[in-house]
Chain A
Amino acid sequence: MEIVDIVPPILKNNVAVVTVDKLFKWARGNSIWPLSSGLACCAIEMMSTAAARFDLSRFGYEVFRAGPRQSDLLIVAGTLTWKMAPPLVRLYEEMPEPKYVIAMGSCAIGGGPFADSYSVVKGIDEVLPVDVYIPGCPPRPEALIDGMLKLKEKIMHPERVNEKTGTGNNEEKTEAVTA
C-alpha cells in the first residue's frame, strides 16, 4: 500500500504526500537567506537588486542577514584580496550547513581587471567551493536574479546539474549513443 492511499478521500485535494528530502529542497530553494557581505562594486548592484525596482523578494530571497549564523548563501560580490580572504573563509565556515556560494562578477570569478595585481585572489574558487558563477563587471541585477534562480534549480534538482554541463554520468550517455 502506498502512503498516498492512507490519506482520507476528503483531504485528497488538500494534502500532498512528498518525501522529507523533497520538502526540504523545496523550502530551501524558495527561501535562500543571503549574507549581506559586499566586498566592492558588485555590492552596490546587489543592493539595487534587493531594492524597489528589481525586488528580489519576489523570489523569497530578500532577507539579507547581517550575521553568518543566520544565512545560508554567501554572495561574494566584488574583488577578493589576499588580506580579506581569511575573514571571508571564516565567514563561510561560520555559516550553518547546507550553504551555498555565488561568485558574482568577474573579479570573484577570476580576478577580473585586477587579475595581474599582487594583492588580488584570482578567483574565489581558490579558497571557497562555488556553486554559481555570474559574469559581468558588475553583473546587472537581472543577471544576479538569474544566478539565484539557477541556484534554486541546483538545490531543488541536484541531478540536473550534471546533465547540463555534460560532466559525469558518461556511462548513460554512451549507452544512449550505442542504443
Chain B
Amino acid sequence: MNEFNDNVAPKTETFVLNMGPQHPSTHGVLRVELDLDGEKVIRVRPIMGYLHRGIEKLLESRTYAQGSPFTDRLDYVSSMNNNYGYCHAVEELCGIEPPPRANYIRAIVAELNRITSHMVFIGSLANDLGAVTGMIYTFRDREEVLDIFDLVCGARQTYNYIRIGGVAQDIPQGFEEKVRKFLDRVPEFMEEYADLLNGNEIFNVRLKEVSVMTKEEALACNMTGPNLRATGVPFDVRKVDGYGAYPEFDFDVPVGENGDNWDRYQVRYKEILESAKIVRQALDGMPEGDFMAKVPKVLKPPKGEIFSRTEGTRGELGFYIVSDGTTKPYRVHIRRPSFISMQGLNPMCRGGLIGDAIAAFASIDPLMGEVDC
C-alpha cells in the first residue's frame, strides 16, 4: 500500500511559456522561452535574431567612412557612443590622432547621450513595472537633450556626428548656453524621478533583493557596464583605458553592493549625475583649435587588425576590424554589450517568480538593435 502512495505523490510538470517576439516588455523583438514549474521559473532561454540586419556583413561592402551611419542604428538610444566606438577603432587602425577640441566635443555629446539613454532606461523600467506615467516624465526631459543634438547635427536620433578624425562640424552658437541650462536642470528632474519612484512600495518590493547576480556570475557571463558595476566591480573603460579626453575629467564610478535590480537601477541613476559632471568639466575646459584631424579623402588603413573598446552606455563596446589594405574592411566584428548581458538573464531569473523575469529583463536594459546587430 505504501508503495502505491509513493507513486502518486504530487509532482508538477514543467510548462514552457513563450514570451514574444511581440511583447510590450521585451523592448523590441525578442522571444524568451520560459520553463515554468507552477509560477517558478526554472530556465530562461532568450531566442534572438528577430532584428538581425546583418550590419557586420554590410560593413564589409562599405568604405570606412560609410560604415559609421550603420553604427547609429546598432544601439539606437545612444548613437553618439556607438559612433565614438567605431571611429575610435578606425582611428587606432590608421594611426589618426583626433585634435583635443574634438575629444572634448566627443566627450560632451557622448555623455549627454548616456544621460538620455539612462533616462529611457528609467522610463521603461517604470513602465514595465506598471507605472506607465514614468515614461512620460523621462521622455519629457529627454527632449531637451535631443534639441541640443538637433542643433549640433540636425538629427534627433541617428546623428552620425562623430566622424573618423574628429567631429562633423564645430559646435554651433548657443550650444554652450543650452547645455548649461540643461545641466542646471539635471538635479531638479532627478529629484523628481526619485520622489516618484524610490519611495514607491511596489517599486521597492519588485526591485530590492530580486534577481540577484553575484560578482562571480556576472564576470562568468562577461557582463560589463552598469550591470557589472551593480555587483560591485568598479570596471569602467573610461577609467581603465582612459581614452579620448576622459583622463582629464574628475568623475566617480558608481557601484552597487548586492547586484539586484535595485542596484542596477541605482547605478544608472547615479551615472546620470556623473555624466552631467563630466559635461560641465568639458565645457569649462574646452580647448580652442581644430575639430577635425587631417584625414585623407579615401581612407586606406594599413594591413592589420585592431580591437578597440570604449565605454558604451550598456557596457564595453568593442570593434574588431580586420583590414586587408583596401578601402573597405575585410571583417568587422562588434562586441555588443547588450548581447553579452543577455546571457545573464538565465542566472538572474532562475528560481524567481514569473513576474520578476520582466523586472530582471528591464533592469538589464538590453536594446534589440544591439543584441541582434
Distance to closest chain B CB from A134 (angstroms): 14
> Within residues 32 to 61 of chain A, which ones have a CB less than 8 A from any CB in chain B?
36-41, 43-45, 47-48, 51-53
Report if A166 contacts B (CB, 8 A).
Answer: no
CB within 8 Å of A: which residues of B? Answer: 21-24, 28-29, 49-55, 57-58, 61, 69-70, 73, 76-77, 120, 135-137, 139-140, 142-143, 146, 156-158, 368-369
Q: Which of A39, A52, A117, A118 contacts B140 (CB 8 A)?
A: A52
How close is B151's CB to chain A, nearest CB, in angstroms?
Answer: 14
Are B158's CB and A137's CB within 8 A? yes
Which of A36, A41, A119 is B76 in contact with, Cβ under 8 Å? A41
Do A138 and B158 touch (CB < 8 A)?
yes
**Of A43, A45, A52, A140, which is within 8 A of B28 by CB?**
A43
User: Are the C-beta atoms of B136 and A51 separated by less than 8 Å?
Assistant: yes
Number of A-B contacts (CB under 8 A): 93
Q: Which residues of B contact A84 (CB under 8 A)?
A: 21, 29, 50-51
**Min CB gap B281→A, angstroms:** 29
Q: In the complex, what residues of B have CB within 8 A of residue A39's CB?
A: 28-29, 51
Q: Which residues of chain B have C-beta atoms less than 8 A from A119's C-beta?
A: 52-54
- 8 interchain pairs (CB within 8 A)? A39-B28, A44-B157, A66-B24, A81-B51, A87-B22, A114-B53, A117-B54, A138-B158
A120 within 8 Å of B (CB atoms): yes
Please determine whether A41 and B158 come into contact, CB atoms closer than 8 angstroms.
yes
Is residue A128 within 8 Å, beta carbon to beta carbon, of the partner chain?
A: no
On whether the beta carbons of A113 and B70 are closer than 8 Å, the reply is yes
> CA–CA, A39 to B58, complex, Å?
20
Provide the residues of chain A in CB contact with B139, threshold 8 Å. 47-48, 51-53
Q: Within the complex, what minimum Cβ distance (angstroms) separates B299 from chain A?
A: 20
Residues of A within 8 A of B50 (CB): 81, 83-84, 87
Q: Which residues of B contact A88 (CB under 8 A)?
A: 22
**Residues in B whose Cβ lies below 8 Å from that of A137:** 158
Q: Which residues of A contact B73 (CB under 8 A)?
A: 40-41, 113
B149–chain A nearest beta-carbon distance, Å: 12
Contacts of A116 in B (CB 8 A): 58, 61
Chain A residue numbers with a CB within 8 Å of B61 are 116
Residue in contact with A79 in the complex, picked from B53, B77, B136, CB distance below 8 Å: B53
Which one of B29, B137, B156 contacts A140 once the chains associate, using CB atoms below 8 Å? B156
In the complex, the chain B residue whose C-beta lies closest to that of A79 is B53
Chain B residue nearest in CB terms to A49: B139
Q: Tell me, in angstroms, the Cα distance from A83 to B22 when the chains sit together.
A: 13
Q: Please report the C-alpha to C-alpha distance between residue A47 and residue B124 in the assembled complex, in whole angstroms.
A: 10
B130 to chain A, nearest CB (A): 12
Residues facing B in A127-179 (CB within 8 A) are 137-138, 140
- Excluding A48-B146, A52-B137, A87-B21, 18 further A-B contacts by CB distance (< 8 Å) are A37-B22, A39-B28, A39-B29, A39-B51, A40-B73, A45-B157, A48-B142, A51-B135, A52-B136, A66-B24, A81-B51, A84-B29, A113-B69, A114-B54, A116-B58, A117-B55, A119-B53, A119-B54
A84–B26 Cα distance when bound, in Å, is 14
Asked if B369 and A41 make an inter-chain contact with CB atoms under 8 angstroms apart, the answer reads: yes
Closest Cβ neighbor of B144 among chain A residues:
A53
8 nearest interchain CB pairs?
A51-B139, A41-B76, A52-B140, A117-B54, A84-B50, A66-B24, A114-B53, A53-B143
Chain A 81-99 interface residues, beta-carbon cutoff 8 Å to B: 81, 83-84, 87-88, 91
- Which residues of the other chain, B, contact A53 by a CB distance below 8 angstroms? 139-140, 143
Q: For the complex formed, measure the closest distance between the CB of A115 and the CB atoms of chain B, giving whole angstroms.
A: 10
Contacts of B69 in A (CB 8 A): 113
A36 contact set on B, CB distance < 8 A? 24
- Distance, CA A48 to CA B145, complexed state (A): 13
Given contacts A51-B135, A114-B53, A117-B53, contact A40 B58 (CB under 8 A): no
Task: Please determine whether A81 and B156 come into contact, CB atoms closer than 8 angstroms.
Answer: no
Nearest B residue to A117 via CB reads: B54
List, in ascending order, chain A residues with CB within 8 A of B142's CB: 48
